[in-house]
Amino acid sequence: QPVLTQSPSTSGTPGRRVTISCSGGSSNIGRNVVNWYQHLPGTAPKLLIYKNNERPSGVPDRFSGSKSGTSASLAISGLQSEDEANYYCAAWDDSLNGVVFGGGTKVTVL
């Protein structure tokens, strides 16, 4: 079972806003930064958001991240068809001395 909890799926029509939540605990999200990855099956995962809300160069500002306490969220505004993918949150876990991932959220563009 993944240490971080994400809802399995969400969907939206083009142009709308969707939010993905990620819930953890005091040893991971509560103490460390949260990072988000976008993954299309058969491809290399892509870093989407790091340090809670930073975007690597080339990532559109439609993607934004936030963190509060032991939870984090990823928002996608102006949803586009190419955003259809799986999204994973991740954080360092001080108790496990390693990285923990969420189970992933599949975003479907209707």
Partner 1 sequence: QVQLVESGGGLVRPGGSLRLSCAASGFTFSDYYMTWIRQAPGKGLEWLSYIGDSGTTIFFADSVKARFTISRDNAKNSLYLQMNSLRAEDTAVYFCAKERYSGYADGIFDSWGQGTLVTVSS
Which residues here bind partner 1, judged by CB under 8 A?
A: 2, 32-33, 35, 37, 39, 43-47, 50-51, 56, 86, 88, 90-92, 96-104
Could you identify the residue written with the tokens 């259809």? 84
Q: Any bridge partners for residue 85, and if so which?
A: 107
- If the CB atoms of residues 81 and 97 are measured against partner 1, the closer one turns out to be 97
* Closest-CA residue to 80 (of 60, 105, 100): 60
In the complex, minimum distance from the CB of residue 90 to partner 1, in angstroms, rounded to a whole number? 6
- If the CB atoms of residues 17 and 54 are measured against partner 1, the closer one turns out to be 54
In the complex, minimum distance from the CB of residue 2 to partner 1, in angstroms, rounded to a whole number? 6
- If the CB atoms of residues 77 and 101 are measured against partner 1, the closer one turns out to be 101
**Pairing between β-strand 5-6 and β-strand 9-12 as defined by DSSP bridges:** unpaired
Burial class (CB in 10 A: 0-12, 13-18, 19+), 12: middle
In the complex, minimum distance from the CB of residue 35 to partner 1, in angstroms, rounded to a whole number? 5
